[in-house]
Amino acid sequence: MVERSFDVVVVGSGAGGGTVAKELAPLCRQGLRVAVLEWGPKLRESEFTGREIEMADRLYFDGGGVLTRDGAMTLAFARAYGGSTMVYTGTSLPLPEAVVRRWNVPGIEFDDISRRSAKYLAENNVHLLEDERINDNNRLFAAACRRLGFRVEQFPVNVKGCRGAGVCNLGCPNAAKQGTNRVQLPAAEAAGVEVVTNCRVERIGERECFATVANPGFGELSRWEPGEYRIRARAIVVAAGAVNSPALLLRSRLPLRLPALGRYFTAHPALILVGEHDRPISNFHGHPKSYYCDHFAASHGFLLETCMYFPFVTAKNLIGFGAEHAELMRRMDRMQMILVLATDPALPDNRVTVGRDGAPIVSYRFTDGVLDALVASQRAAARIFFAAGCTRVHAPAGASFFIGADQAGRLDELIARRHFRLGTVSISSAHLMGGCRMGSDPATSVTDAWGKVHGVPWLFVADASLFPAAAEINPYVTIMALADRAAERVRARIAELPA
Ligand SMILES: Cc1cc2nc3c(=O)[nH]c(=O)nc-3n(C[C@H](O)[C@H](O)[C@H](O)COP(=O)(O)OP(=O)(O)OC[C@H]3O[C@@H](n4cnc5c(N)ncnc54)[C@H](O)[C@@H]3O)c2cc1C
């Protein structure tokens, strides 16, 4: 086993880890050594082919389809230099004040989160796309929402030089999306932070990590030789994401038992809805996600967002198979698409555990409230499609594969909970949160409000697993704000931690 030693080790390089890496870079100027250990590869620019199956295999855990224990939901999260920011769409919303209030974590103030979020909105070039860059899929959604009196907003996005390839979720082939892979990690490396890719941390011991380096056969070679490593550090920051951070800590021997570890996992369960126009529309090219509707967020617990997925993901999300399925898929150029997301409650039994082999297992139970929200969201989406001029709509809770425009007056009857059966519908999640939640009580939380693990002065968490409950909006900006806090605390405490 090869031995290495650093002052700070960060595990993971996504929204949280990439942010921490950059914010710890000033330590390098003081002569301290900082490393980021990232399981995934750093792809070469030529390897971003935009091909769906190939990129899904290269960039995601289980191709983007990690199943929950009962198989009722798939979870999408990436394994790469930049983590899930490599595949996110880059919609950039700061946390609303009402959510901070609902979180009710002593020490987490709205003004502080807002100030830190604003820093990253500026750093990652977040802005509204010019009107001429909005495609039909998005334009039709916004116009229909306004026609129906639904509140609709344009998403700020973090692109620079977007050429509208439309494949944000397969890794931008034009280097336009400003994830941590483009902004924070290169800045950290330029300042002296060592980013080690293809390096999987197996477990954490007292001020040390045990890791394995193995190159997958694509991407740049790791800067460390393949093999087993024991890495000592004065401080360790875990930022492996809401599934892998709790799993890593559960595999590790911590000095304290933390009953909340792995628990209170939330996911914004989501469905893809499809409407069909009688003519081709621009949908595949252009930024896929320019508008959202939060009209029903407070009253019914769901959000509607524009989206445009790729053939395999789309086909997998349609319910049914055979002639109707094939017919709809052949008409992708006429498709309008909406993603609906439910706000789910943070429950102790929705949780990450680890199997005998140490791999994470996510147990997730849908509450009646979430199922009702998912059904109600399909009715709202169908209304939007018809108001936009669609001739027919496909909804997973629909009484039949297609609901025609002539049936638009009967949506409450045709889209109903009795047609929506878990296991036969394709529910997915790309917003994974919780598992190492912040709080002041070690019985119900894992870290304090600065991401420091209760009772362990050298161990921090800095990613989406910190969320005490769902963000209720797209989460990455908040993850960066929380990671910024954790980095600030590490910088302040490092001198006190024994070498
Ligand atoms: C398809 C998709 C679209 C999205 N779109 C948006 C959007 O538009 N707006 C938004 O706000 N959010 C979006 N998100 C969500 C957002 O990307 C994530 O919430 C965010 O990136 C999570 O940050 P994180 O630091 O918690 O984890 P990640 O960014 O997932 O990073 C975790 C990293 O840790 C690494 N890792 C895991 N285990 C280990 C280990 N044992 N050793 C070493 N490394 C490890 C992983 O390989 C990964 O690189 C999207 C997500 C997906 C999947």
Protein residue with least CA distance to atom 46, ligand 1: 79
Protein residue with least CA distance to atom 39, ligand 1: 240
Q: What is the 3-state secondary structure (H, E, C) of the chain?
A: CEEEEEEEEEECCCHHHHHHHHHHHHHHHCCCCEEEECCCCCCCHHHCCCCHHHHHHHHEHHHHCEECCCCCEEECCECCCCHHHHCCCCECCCCCHHHHHHHCCCCCCHHHHHHHHHHHHHHCCCECCCHHHCCHHHHHHHHHHHHHCCCCEECCECECCCCCCCCHHHCCCCCCECCCCCCHHHHHHHCCCEEECCEEEEEEECCEEEEEECCCCCCCCCCCCCEEEEEEEEEEEECCHHHHHHHHHHHCCCCCCCCCCCCCCECCCEEEEEEECCCCCCCCCCCCCCEEECCCHHHHCEEEEECCCCHHHHHHHCCCCCHHHHHHHHCHHHEEEEEEEECCCCCCCCEEEECCCCCEEEECCCCHHHHHHHHHHHHHHHHHHHHCCCCEEECCCECCCCEEHHHHHHHHHHECHHHCCECCECEEECCCECCCCECCCCCCCCECCCCEECCCCCEEECCHHHCCCCCCCCCHHHHHHHHHHHHHHHHHHHHHCCC
Q: Do both 336 and 463 map to the same domain?
A: no
| pLDDT tens readout for residues 446-497 | 999 999 999 999 999 999 999 999 999 999 999 999 999 999 999 999 999 9
CA distance 398 to 498: 61
| pLDDT tens readout for residues 182-206 | 999 999 999 999 999 999 999 999 9
Q: Is residue 484 in a domain?
A: yes
Q: Is residue 351 in a domain?
A: no
Q: Do both 103 and 142 map to the same domain?
A: no
Q: Which atom of ligand 1 is nearest to the CA of 12?
A: 34
Question: What range defines the domain where residue 407 resides?
Answer: 130-155+270-343+367-421
CA distance 274 to 141: 12
Q: Do both 85 and 41 map to the same domain?
A: yes
Nearest to 246 by CA among 379, 421, 437: 437
Q: Is residue 357 in a domain?
A: no
Q: Which of 376, 399, 421 is the last residue of a domain?
A: 421
Q: Is residue 40 in a domain?
A: yes
Cα-to-centroid distance, 76 and ligand 1 (Å)? 9
How far apart, in Å, are the Cα atoms of 252 and each of 164, 217, 277?
Answer: 43, 29, 53
| pLDDT tens readout for residues 138-188 | 999 999 999 999 999 999 999 999 999 999 999 999 999 999 999 999 999
Q: Do both 140 and 76 map to the same domain?
A: no
pLDDT at 11: 98
Q: Which atom of ligand 1 is nearest to the CA of 80?
A: 49
| pLDDT tens readout for residues 288-338 | 999 999 999 999 999 999 999 999 999 999 988 899 999 999 999 999 999
* CATH classification of the domain holding 58: 3.50.50.60
* CATH classification of the domain holding 281: 3.30.410
Q: Is residue 349 in a domain?
A: no
Q: Do both 236 and 216 map to the same domain?
A: yes
Protein residue with least CA distance to atom 5, ligand 1: 88
Q: Do both 105 and 195 map to the same domain?
A: yes
Cα-to-centroid distance, 299 and ligand 1 (Å)? 29
Residues with Cβ within 6 A of ligand 1?
11-17, 37-40, 76-80, 83-85, 87-91, 169, 200-201, 239-242, 244, 248, 430-431, 463-464, 474-476, 479
Answer yes or no: pTM beyond 0.75. Answer: yes
Domain count within the chain: 2
Q: Do both 279 and 323 map to the same domain?
A: yes
pLDDT at 357: 95
Choose one of 55, 84, 157, 447 to mutate for the ligand 1 pocket test, by most ligand atoms within 8 angstroms of C-beta. 84
pLDDT at 303: 98
Q: Do both 32 and 175 map to the same domain?
A: yes
Q: Do both 228 and 199 map to the same domain?
A: yes
Q: Is residue 339 in a domain?
A: yes
Protein residue with least CA distance to atom 38, ligand 1: 240
Which band of pLDDT confidence, cut at 50, 70 and 90, is reported for residue 102?
very high
Q: Do both 63 and 174 map to the same domain?
A: yes
pLDDT at 322: 92
Q: Do both 283 and 403 map to the same domain?
A: yes
Cα-to-centroid distance, 89 and ligand 1 (Å)? 12
Protein residue with least CA distance to atom 31, ligand 1: 14
Choose one of 88, 91, 155 to mutate for the ligand 1 pocket test, by most ligand atoms within 8 angstroms of C-beta. 88
Choose one of 79, 476, 485 to mutate for the ligand 1 pocket test, by most ligand atoms within 8 angstroms of C-beta. 476
Choose one of 10, 11, 77 to mutate for the ligand 1 pocket test, by most ligand atoms within 8 angstroms of C-beta. 77
Cα-to-centroid distance, 265 and ligand 1 (Å)? 15
Q: Is residue 98 in a domain?
A: yes
Q: Is residue 246 in a domain?
A: yes
Q: Do both 99 and 207 map to the same domain?
A: yes
Cα-to-centroid distance, 52 and ligand 1 (Å)? 18
